[in-house]
Amino acid sequence: MTSAERAPVTVYVSAGSNIRPAENLRLACRELQAAYGPLSVSSVYRNPAVGFSGDDFLNMVIAFSTAEPPERVLVRMEDVHELAGRVRLEDPFSPRTLDLDVLLYGDRVDAALKLPHGDIDKYGFVLGPLAEMAPGLRHPVSGQRIAELWSAFDAADTAMTRVEVDLGLDA
């Protein structure tokens, strides 16, 4: 089945940066909008680095519709990482120009592609913005609504502050 024959699905992507974060989130939005058309975006949140000492991160969730297969979407995320100058270090807990993770590709469950992404219910800076965007969406494995996951999440360790960032999106 080609992309043209494939039914479009909604893809949710977490986006975070702590190196030139506003600039890199704008770059991610610009590139994803050019590739997929209109985006839906959560608020942008500032939160401390998790797992290491470093500058605060800006995090958000971006959603778009596509008929591209998930493998192609994942390749495109890597292309955007490259544009942002991301250097992958052995330690995943390190500063980064941009971190894009495909959280959900419709209701697809695929361990090899890490779908759904394991960070959804692990980190408040992922789950919170996702719950803001799609509270009624069901997690494809647990079946729980995203709002239910967020309300049950222990947010005591999640210091997130909503911030205004010009993402440069077309109206």
CATH code of the domain in which 51 resides: 3.30.70.560
Lowest mean pLDDT, pick from 47-61, 87-101, 113-127, 153-167: 87-101
Position 21 in a domain? yes
* 31, 13 Cβ separation under 8 angstroms: no
What's the domain range around 63? 9-163
State pTM to two decimals: 0.92
Instruction: Provide the CA 125 distance to its chain's centre, in angstroms.
Output: 10
pLDDT score recorded for residue 124: 92
Instruction: Provide the CA 167 distance to its chain's centre, in angstroms.
Output: 15
- All residues at 6 or more sequence positions from 35 whose CB lies less than 8 Å from its CB, including other chains: 76
By annotation, the residues acting in catalysis are 86, 96, 99, 101
pLDDT score recorded for residue 37: 95
Q: pLDDT tens across 53-98, in order?
A: 789 999 999 999 999 999 999 999 999 998 887 776 555 666 889 9
Domain count, the chain: 1
